[in-house]
Amino acid sequence: MFPKQNLERKLDVQIATSGVMDNAISLWLQMYENKPPWMGGKEAVRTMNLPAAIAEEFSRLILTEFEFKLEGSARADFINKQFQNYLSNFDNIVEMWGALGGIVIKPYVSGQDPVTGKPDKIQLDFIQANRFYPTAFNSNKEITGAVFIDSKRVGDYLFTRLEHHNLEGDHYTVVNKAYRSERLNTMTTEDDQISVEHPFMQEVPLETIEEWAGLEPVTEMDGIERPFFLYVKVPRANNIDPHSPLGVSTFSRAVEVIQEADLQYSRILWEYEAKEAAIDASDDIFDIDQNGQPILPSGRERLFRTYDMEGKNNNAMIQPYSPDIRDSAMFKGLDELLRRVEFLCGLAYGTLSNPNQVDRTATEIKASKQRSYTTVSNMQKAWDSGLDGLIEIMDMLCDLYDIVPDGEIQKLCSWGDGVLEDTEVEYQRRWAMVLAGKLKIEKFYAWYFGCTEEEAKGYIPEENTYPPEE
């Protein structure tokens, strides 16, 4: 994480998060990048990359049947077009959101209409949790002020831009400052570089970096009702710091169990390595090379383990080494740990663990899937509410910069219901209702094709009757 003291001195602000949350976010990021603090070391721990798998799985479940569009006016069409540019990468955005407990979406105007000279685009910045710091929030834990960090490498230097947004009453202030620091190590990432003790060496004009040239050092506006950024957080109680406005990672409650799973996985790998079949042989039965080392059969070097067996009987000169591997018991232990991870993260059993060893009764299956359904459903609601807020901000920008005339905006957003039940199972269930005369065919088509009932009527053959006659 970024050194908070530097931010507070440079921008004259107070960061509204604790060191406990900073440490937690740093840990989640390390785990997501498959570089947890327990990796390597004396025990040579190798990881299963579970955090990234968990975040990716939640992203997949959330967006399996996601559809989004806006309609109702020219303004709705304009905002819809801006958002559609990001849909192809939306799964990655949601994955990072789940891994770090939340994400900030910051719309901003860009481009220039050749006729009016006004902005003609709204772009979206998606800022991950380790790149922003809240500075103010209200009683509902809605963030009203924050510092955002942007960085860019140029030659031997790293340039860092700090952008502070603050809403006080209806007065809104945006401050931009840019700094240059020497790159201490060309092999480090930008996150590593800005985390050094003294990341700022010299303040430079914003125009130093082409992308920042159009930004004002200070912008003040009145009559603003909400910040021009939106924080979407993972809908789980923050048991790391209950007073923080920030969310927690989807795997935050399973950190210790994930560590144990990695340790168990490493033990299994060591079991296979230590008990790999081999032949123990006396080194004096092989020819010797110029360095005095036995020359082993080409391509079979790994099979032989040579020892000095001088003085031992001939029967000991060649001995097979092939002990029993305790993999069944060890894998069973790993599977129990994975089940615990699934439970703590809100996933159905069998998502990470062996699906052939779980859910043996109908009650267990239902409870397990219901847990996953509830977790994902809450996450979809969080994003649905977040999209409402995003539309509101983009609507405000259209008014503020007079980009598109005012107009009605209707959000058509569908998340689907394929999380709880397999789509094929649901298809068969609904079709059975059609055949039984308990569901109109147009409702079935509307669900299957994702259209309105009026549009679905166009799919119905005129001469057929429903339910079909025997």
Per-residue pLDDT band at 129 (split at 50, 70, 90): very high
33, pLDDT greater than 80: yes
Q: Mean pLDDT score of the chain, rounded to an integer?
A: 84
Please give the pLDDT value at position 197: 44
Q: Put residue 51 in one of left, alpha, beta given phi > 0 → left and psi -120 to 50 → alpha.
A: alpha
Copy the structure tokens of residue 159: 């340039």
Q: Which amino acid is at 411?
A: K
Please give the pLDDT value at position 397: 94
270, pLDDT greater than 70: yes
Per-residue pLDDT band at 354 (split at 50, 70, 90): confident
Distance, CA of 126 to CA of 97 (rounded, Å): 10
Beta pairing class for 278-282 and 304-307: parallel
15, pLDDT greater than 80: yes
Q: Which of 47-61, 173-187, 358-372 has the lowest mean pLDDT?
A: 358-372
252, pLDDT greater than 80: yes
| Placement of tokens 């996953």 in the chain | 372
C-alpha 398: how far from chain center:
30
77, pLDDT greater than 90: yes
Please give the pLDDT value at position 464: 56
Please give the pLDDT value at position 417: 61
Sign of the C-alpha dihedral computed for residues 404, 406, 407 and 408 taken in this order: positive
Per-residue pLDDT band at 362 (split at 50, 70, 90): low
Helix, strand, coil percentages (3-state) for the chain, rounded to 5, are 40, 20, 40
Q: For residue range 387-431, what is the model confidence (pLDDT) as tens digits?
A: 999 999 999 999 999 999 999 999 998 887 655 455 666 788 889
323 DSSP assignment? P
Beta strands in 322-417 (DSSP E): 410-414
Please give the pLDDT value at position 359: 47
CA distance between the termini of the chain: 69
Nearest to 133 by CA among 171, 104, 98, 93: 104
Distance, CA of 151 to CA of 180 (rounded, Å): 10
455, pLDDT greater than 50: yes
> Contact, 18 vs 242, CB < 8 A?
no
Beta pairing class for 143-154 and 132-137: antiparallel
Please give the pLDDT value at position 162: 93
Q: For residue range 89-116, what is the model confidence (pLDDT) as tens digits?
A: 999 999 999 999 999 999 999 888 888 8
- Residues belonging to the chain: 470
Residue 47 CB: number of other CB atoms within 10 A? 21
463, pLDDT greater than 90: no
Q: For residue range 220-248, what is the model confidence (pLDDT) as tens digits?
A: 999 999 999 999 999 999 999 999 999 99
Residue 214 CB: number of other CB atoms within 10 A? 10
Identify the residue with better confidence: 307 or 145: 145
Q: Which of 39-43, 124-128, 186-190 has the lowest mean pLDDT?
A: 186-190
What percent of the chain lies above the pLDDT cut of 70? 78
The mean per-residue pLDDT over the stretch 322-328 comes to 69
Q: For residue range 44-72, what is the model confidence (pLDDT) as tens digits?
A: 788 999 999 999 999 999 998 899 999 99
Q: What are the domain boundaries of the chain?
A: 4-256+375-397, 276-322, 421-470
279, pLDDT greater than 80: no
314 DSSP assignment? G
Q: Per the omega criterion (within 30 degrees of 0), is the bond before 119 cis?
A: no
Per-residue pLDDT band at 469 (split at 50, 70, 90): low
Please give the pLDDT value at position 451: 79
467, pLDDT greater than 70: no
Distance, CA of 13 to CA of 16 (rounded, Å): 9
149, pLDDT greater than 80: yes
Please give the pLDDT value at position 223: 92
Per-residue pLDDT band at 317 (split at 50, 70, 90): low
Distance, CA of 249 to CA of 55 (rounded, Å): 9
Q: Which of 162-171, 220-229, 283-292, 394-403 has the lowest mean pLDDT?
A: 283-292
Please give the pLDDT value at position 286: 64
Please give the pLDDT value at position 449: 80
Please give the pLDDT value at position 285: 63
